[in-house]
Amino acid sequence: MKNKKITRKITQGMYVLTTKGGGCIVDAVSQISASENPLISVAVMKSNYTNTLLKENTTFALSILGKEEKSDIISTFGMHSMRDINKFETIETTEIEGLPIINHTIGYMICEIVNRIENDTHTLIIGKLVEADMFEDIEAMSYQYYQEHKDELLRITTETGKTAWICTICGYVYYGDELPENYNCPKCGVSKDLFQKKES
Ligand SMILES: Cc1cc2nc3c(=O)[nH]c(=O)nc-3n(C[C@H](O)[C@H](O)[C@H](O)COP(=O)(O)O)c2cc1C
């Protein structure tokens, strides 16, 4: 038996990864060393436009989301691609060290990329922390909190009278009684076992 849902119990936070030209929501972030300039790893999906940008850029920033986050940051950066919209048109940022840092967050970490490891679906980017600051010392949003409040955070609404399957990772909605065999989310690529049924 392989119940992948158990991986959701790995405690992770919610961040906006930005780099020159774009960015996206990430939860797969870890501190992997504790020197004067700690190493931070982040796993970025190969299908994301942000992954393409990170091949050309040498730095990235992580803005840390607070638990009380109520704006459109998550839906804008986590459910849309910079291929289709300019995320910076609606979300306020401040430029620091040449990178867009998201306003109204707990704070930010700027990293210089020191390694890239290509895996099956994601590139593991390892960065050395070079600059960071805290704007507000409040509780960070955990990935578990996001999962439990996703509908309100992403403002997901489904059509009445239809059976909907909602991707628990990105919020994509599929309508139909059952998901097709071997179905993967067309938006974020995860397999069908990560969809949740909602009848209305
Ligand atoms: C809660 C949440 C967590 C996510 N975590 C990650 C992640 O850790 N790594 C990743 O590459 N994408 C993650 N995503 C998906 C990207 O944010 C999403 O695919 C985004 O639209 C990509 O935008 P881009 O094409 O402009 O890069 C997450 C999305 C959400 C909503």
Q: Compute the distance between CA of residue 155 and CA of residue 71 in angstroms, rounded to an integer.
A: 10
Same domain as 162, residue 140: no
Q: Is position 167 within any domain?
A: yes
What is the rounded CA–CA span in Å between residue 14 and residue 105?
A: 11
Cα of 77 vs centre of ligand 1, distance in Å, is 7
Specify whether 53 is located in the same domain as 118: yes
What is the rounded CA–CA span in Å between residue 195 and residue 133?
Answer: 36
CA distance 81 to 24: 8
Q: According to the model, what pLDDT value does residue 5 have?
A: 80
pLDDT at 82 over 80: yes
CATH number at residue 177: 2.20.28.10
Statement to judge: residues 56 and 26 lie in one domain? yes
Check whether residue 37 and residue 110 sit in a common domain: yes
Q: For residue range 8-41, what is the model confidence (pLDDT) as tens digits? A: 788 999 999 999 999 999 999 999 999 889 999 9
With bands split at pLDDT 50, 70 and 90, how would you rate the model's confidence at 79?
confident
Q: Note down the domain range covering 194.
A: 158-199
SS3 129: strand
187 CB neighbour count, 10 Å cutoff = 17
Does one domain contain both 27 and 87? Answer: yes
- Claim to verify: residue 64 and residue 117 sit in the same structural domain: yes
Ligand 1: residues within 6 Å at CB?
Answer: 22, 24-28, 43-45, 48-50, 74, 77-83, 146, 169-170, 188
Percentages helix, strand, coil for the chain, rounded to the nearest 5? 20, 40, 40
Torsion of the alpha carbons at 196, 47, 74 and 29, rounded to the nearest 10: 100
93 and 187 housed in the same domain: no
Gap between the Cα atoms of 134 and 139, Å rounded: 12
The mean pLDDT of 107-121, rounded to a whole number, is: 97
DSSP 55: H
Task: Using the predicted structure, report yes or no on whether residue 156 has a pLDDT greater than 80.
Answer: no
For residues 53 and 72, the model is more confident at 53
Structural domain includes residue 109:
yes
Of the residues 101, 118, 145, which one is the last residue of a structural domain? 145
Q: Which helix (H) or strand (E) holds 198?
A: strand 195-199
Q: What average pLDDT is seen over the chain?
A: 92
Question: What total of structural domains would you count in the chain?
Answer: 2
Top mutation candidate among 170, 194, 195, 196 for ligand 1, by most atoms within 8 Å of CB = 170
Q: Is residue 112 part of a domain?
A: yes
Residues 136 and 178 placed together within one structural domain of the fold: no
pLDDT of residue 101: 98
Which two structure tokens, joined as six digits, stand for 76?
């804008």
For residue range 159-186, what is the model confidence (pLDDT) as tens digits? 889 999 988 777 789 999 999 999 999 8
The amino acid present at 108, given as its one-letter code, is Y
Mean pLDDT of 83-111: 96
